[in-house]
Amino acid sequence: MSHHRPTPPLPGDLAREIARLRESLGERLVILAHHYQHDDVVRHADIVGDSLELARRVPGLAAEHIVFCGVYFMAETAAILAGPGQTVHLPDLEADCIMAAMAPASRVQSVLAHLAAAGRRIVPLTYVNSSAGVKAVVGRHGGAVCTSANAATMLRWALERGDGVLFLPDKNLAWNTADQLGLPAGERLVLDVRGDGRRLDPEAVRRVRLFAWPGMCAIHHRMKVSHVSAARAAHPDALVVVHPECRPEVVALAEASGSTRSIIDYCHRAPAGATIYVGTEIRLVERLAARLAPSKRILPLMASACENMGKITETKLLACLKHLSGGYAVETPPEDAAPAREAVRRMLEACAG
């Protein structure tokens, strides 16, 4: 007796089937993809961008179904910004950002309460890499969201509105942004958030203007000074550009640092013949290298991949497109949606024009 084993569809078949579904859904569907996604996912996207660019595009979309190829907080931010009658879907609901997971909403709420109890008027500023629950806590406390592209503008905005700022969840972005603004070292502190804020040092709490949450992106934090030294030794004329989620000592050694968009622009603007080491997620670095070769040589400062971004595959995208009626939708608790939207709105307003 022979067993019938279905032949798994070939990669080409997957792509054709996705294309067929996209065509039949027409304008009812839009697919967004972050730059850190696999090439065979990116090729199906209507819009490719970094987290700020993708968030900005959502309010202008008319499609009933927004399929977001990225990590959970990005899809959740899109859901906050989507209109009534629109649904945001994430092809793998377990694609979570490890940095966002380092700041649970209840702990943020409790640390803010401890800081307020010490008599400080603290304005919270959350990096977009955070849950809707955290954005809601921040929104309720008069704070805002920021991205790596506007962190300096938003930190200035927050410092003007209180006598201190709680920046979360990324301590590296907090430090790099404070360096950009020239905030003195004695006015900053990486918080000890164990015990939900009960271990805060009362003396520091009185003095500090920038409290940084102790979170980080492991993918960028892995890049060290030794990687920059090795790059310089291999190619003394090379340029180095890194993301501000990297350690401050790595950022200090680079020719430039900035958001994903600004890294892409930096590589495009570099003179022909340049060798550029890029310190960010490997899938973006490889795509840039392929796009700019042979005119420029783009090399990874270190091959570091975001596993969660990599969870979205063509197979899962296809399954998601087949089940738009349910199973992949991202929903924000209604009580969080309004204050979270307010925190995002404050950013968009402060950065308009």
The footprint of ligand SF4 (CB under 6 A) covers: 71, 97-99, 129, 217, 219, 281, 306, 308-309
Among residues 141, 142, 154, 131, which one has the least CA distance to residue 77? 131
Q: Which is nearer to ligand SF4, 123 or 128 (CB)?
A: 128
Under DSSP, the state recorded for 170 is: B
Q: Which is nearer to ligand SF4, 138 or 200 (CB)?
A: 138
* Tokens at 351, concatenated: 């950065």
Q: How far is the CB of 9 from ligand SF4 (least distance, A)?
A: 28
The structure tokens 């009534």 sit at: 84
Note the helical H segments in the chain.
11-25, 39-42, 51-57, 72-81, 98-101, 105-117, 132-140, 151-161, 171-181, 202-207, 218-221, 225-234, 248-253, 260-269, 282-292, 314-322, 334-350
Q: How far is the CB of 275 from ligand SF4 (least distance, A)?
A: 24
| Strand, coil or helix: 32 | strand
Contacts of 197 (CB under 8 A, 6+ apart): 107, 110, 111, 112, 113, 114, 115, 191
Q: How far is the CB of 103 from ligand SF4 (least distance, A)?
A: 12
Residue 12 to residues 17, 19, 44, 314, Cα–Cα distance (Å)? 9, 11, 13, 10
Q: How far is the CB of 285 from ligand SF4 (least distance, A)?
A: 12
Among residues 108, 158, 81, which one has the least CA distance to residue 338? 81
Among residues 46, 77, 98, which one has the least CA distance to residue 245? 98
Q: Which is nearer to ligand SF4, 42 or 97 (CB)?
A: 97
Q: Which is nearer to ligand SF4, 167 or 209 (CB)?
A: 167
Q: Which is nearer to ligand SF4, 170 or 336 (CB)?
A: 170
Q: Which is nearer to ligand SF4, 197 or 279 (CB)?
A: 279
Rg (CA), the chain: 21
Distance in angstroms (rounded) separating the CA atoms of residues 83 and 328: 18
Q: How far is the CB of 308 from ligand SF4 (least distance, A)?
A: 5
* Tokens at 328, concatenated: 């992949």
Task: Say if residues 265 and 241 touch (Cβ distance below 8 Å).
Answer: no
Q: How far is the CB of 69 from ligand SF4 (least distance, A)?
A: 12
Q: How far is the CB of 95 from ligand SF4 (least distance, A)?
A: 8
Strand order in the sheet with 29-34: 47-49, 29-34, 65-69, 87-89
Q: Which is nearer to ligand SF4, 147 or 308 (CB)?
A: 308
Q: Which is nearer to ligand SF4, 205 or 288 (CB)?
A: 288
Q: How far is the CB of 243 from ligand SF4 (least distance, A)?
A: 9
